[in-house]
Amino acid sequence: MGVYRQQVLLKSSGGIVQPTRRLWGIDALRGVAIIMMVIYHLLWDLYFFAILPNIALQVGFWKYFQRTTATLFLILVGVSLVITNLRDRQINSGQRIPFRKFLERGARIFGWGMVISLAVRIAGIGKIDFGILHLIGFAIIAAYPFLEWRWLNLLLWATLYLAGKFLQPGLVSVPWLVWLGLEPPFYDYLDYFPVIPWFGVVLLGIGLGNLLYRDNQNRLPLLDWSRWWPVRWLQALGRRSLPIYLLHQPVLFTLLLSLLFILRLMKLGQ
């Protein structure tokens, strides 16, 4: 039976979710989110170095561009948790994955979030108390009891979304509740994704994942574009989302600083 489960075919439309093969659509969408993230952070860097000092990133189009990017990332986190749960159940004869696996994975990602927080503080750029990596690490752990629910997760997403609308900045002055979504007065941050409402977006992804991949079946008919080179390129980015997230800002900073240094040398040489 173990060999048979490893050989189950994944079809593009209505196929069984194969334990040993990644779903190209999920990786490609994550690749799209990666590109959107790099674009936004590049614009932020250009603003930070006063190359584009008048660009408005906190309002209007770019604000919603950033929110859309984060939402796509977090929904895919939820969907991926569902797929991981389905595959491991297939491999383990229907037994549920031990909580320890989620605890270890979530703690590792949360730990990377802490590394970024420390690096940002040391660099004197600003502060990140509970950014998107902190949230993803937390969500992987906290979502364990909800992995197999559909409509309950959609209801919880709506509840957390509405709760977030009522949490106005300055309601409390206790900094250690920032992670929950309670902002102290005049709270300043570079990256902030508190549990309320953003954990609800991960639960939304879990609910959608259980609707789309119910009973180990892919219920969303898709043409197989996995061999088209732009999609393969997006898949490659999506499979390396964490390393890219960790490394892209140091690379962008280095390139921009080098460019500014070269421009200054050229100016002095005139």
Q: Does residue 166 lie within any of the structural domains? A: yes
3-state helix, strand, coil split of the chain in percent (to 5) is 70, 0, 30
For the record, the structure tokens of 63 come out as: 């604000």
Position 7 in a domain: no
In the block, residue with structure tokens 């219920």: 219
Q: Which residue has the tokens 């570079």?
A: 190
Confirm whether 38 is domain-assigned: yes
The answer to whether residue 122 sits within a structural domain is yes
In a domain, 177, yes or no: yes
Q: Is the distance from CB of 5 to CB of 91 less than 8 angstroms?
A: yes
Beta bridge partners of 192: 130
CA geometry: angle 171, 132, 29, nearest 5 deg? 135
Here the tokens at position 44 are 């932020």
Place of tokens 């043409």: 223
Its pTM stands at 0.86
Neighbours of 26 (CB within 10 A): 17
Instruction: Tell whether 5 is covered by a domain.
Output: no
pLDDT at 220: 67
Q: What is the pLDDT along the chain (270 residues), one digit of tens a residue?
A: 333 333 333 343 345 555 445 678 899 999 999 999 999 999 999 999 989 999 999 889 999 999 999 999 999 999 999 988 888 877 776 677 789 999 999 999 999 999 999 999 998 888 999 999 999 999 999 999 999 899 999 999 999 999 988 877 767 777 888 899 888 888 888 899 999 999 999 999 999 999 888 665 666 666 677 788 888 999 999 999 999 999 999 999 999 999 888 888 887 766
Q: Residue 130 phi/psi, 5° resolution?
A: -150, 80
**Containing structural domain, residue 203:** 19-269
| Counted domains in the chain | 1
Inside any domain, residue 8: no
Q: How far apart are CA 208 and CA 58, in angstroms?
A: 29
10 in a structural domain: no
What pLDDT is stored for residue 4 in this prediction?
30
pLDDT for 87 equals 83
